[in-house]
Structure 1
């Protein structure tokens, strides 16, 4: 027996179908074109196409109709129901999925939530399958090329095994079942000696700030979970170029008010991008370089676009201005604001791969380098060697919070008395 809701739905469909048929009858009246004949041509030049007479245009059903349910359908006898105030009926949504469907809005919302949950669960299962496959591949590779270290567990009589592999001369222990490679205790290599990215057994790893290696799947899962830990430091790529390819996944700050000045606009007074340029088109002390002629006492332009500040040629280059093109100190900065590589200008060497800043060699710097190489260095170690190679390495603590603590359990056997070295 049909329910009142089904009867109401059938009445709506019948009413809608009659309106559509009347609309088609009014607008699809055939108009036959007149055929024109030429006096010299044996056949008509215009007329009906081959295969028959006039063909009406096809009607397309790719439109979506949404009924809000505010209007109530009239009763079959044409009289309105005066038994009480009309209650708002359910809303309906049409959906084109292989067939034209009319779905209740509440049912459609539940189905959408269920579908989204199923998609998320499928993605999670795929990620787990991919992670287990990469871990198995790494352990298999470590078993072939590395060496196995068996040690007694501290809290259980059973024994556990770990593998040691060597990556570019650095010893690592397989930790977290293959999620992480931890440097062997007592290793004297600085964190910068660890390769930034490397493939081990077909699995990609990234370097952390401590010089360890983390599997690519862990980093990707952390980014998808929205667990990126922001750093209170301006992004060099965004500040220098006005954009960053990492977008919201970048760990550093993207402040549109702290971008560099447009170099074309500064030198030529015009920019092809105009107002759409991502860089600044305004002269400010924070982003405008020093006037080189003023430093030599030879600037005669009253409307010089560059900053006039007293600086000696021996003053170091400002790192913030050199890498970001912006320095909050402005003209009061004790360092020079020039478009040069700060590392190369101040130290004579640059270790940034693919550095796009200007590398200018000066005789004074070359003489200092020659004097330094001829003298014996009392301290052969440098504090800079203990730092991470690049600021965009992944934070070790941040990764540990995601994959869980417990490195001490994986490598604690090295400090035990019953550990036997090979």
Structure 2
């Protein structure tokens, strides 16, 4: 059984019952945005008639009528009636999942687009995964395990499951009294500077010494200290990262003093936060630096000597381009869909979409024989192979020719 189709069917069942979590709702929305056929199926699922009629055809037995489903939902929300209604509803859950699974799989297979000109080409490029390198203060590097999704930095460096990161002795500077293994402070109390670097096709997480969690996207780097000291917590970013910043008070202050700010510095701007969730995209090959706020508040300040600054509210995005700072409202959840395994694009050019693809599909090269004068909105799973991603391009009427690892965009 196609595991992805079965998982989407489970999400559709939760959607019917109104029990989707925030992340699951985001995944389902992104899946629906991948193809028009997915959106059509989701629209049909929203019809109680569609689901119940399909079930009747499958089971040949009495099941709740369409007009009974709203009452079932309301009753299930009432604790006193929940068990009674669940007993009547659960026998049909497996059948519903089966019907939705068949629907998902049918829509996926029927919407696949063949491209004869690509037959017989080189092996497909698979999507990226957990790949990163830890760069120590002395320049030595450690390739982090692809079996783990992230590390925790403190007096030692551990993977998220608690196992230790193996640090060979040769990576530690010798002949210095303050030489220390990465993640530990030196004898005089100073901290080491580390950098987490993801290649094309890589992603990784890091929990910083203050408890702040960072998700690092492909082709990105984050430089940070093994211990935050002083009145500010400063990290440096190139590329894209999602932050969940922990609140912290300055070591030299009491609880009545101001919180210790957390600063994210990029080449073009500085983001100042106190405790919040936000995303910063600052790739050197992009014309814009984007800061998107999910929760809390942040202050965005361009590095250039200009008076413009912006304090963002949740659901807002600051866009810095050519020294000009503008703020817009948007669906912030879609902007950070990448941490949940989805790419999304909203009113974007084909060049913008392909730059995202190049970062995720290692060895992919892109050339342009022409640039379509259109903008596109949609999404795709980061688990998709390159061929599956190219099918999404075709569904959006983007013409291309593939030559092994090179994709040539046609006008």
Structure 2 length-normalised TM: 0.24
Question: In proportion to residue count, which structure has more strand?
Answer: 2
* CA radius of gyration, larger in: 1
Higher relative contact order (CA 8 A, sep 6+): 2
TM-score in terms of structure 1 length: 0.24
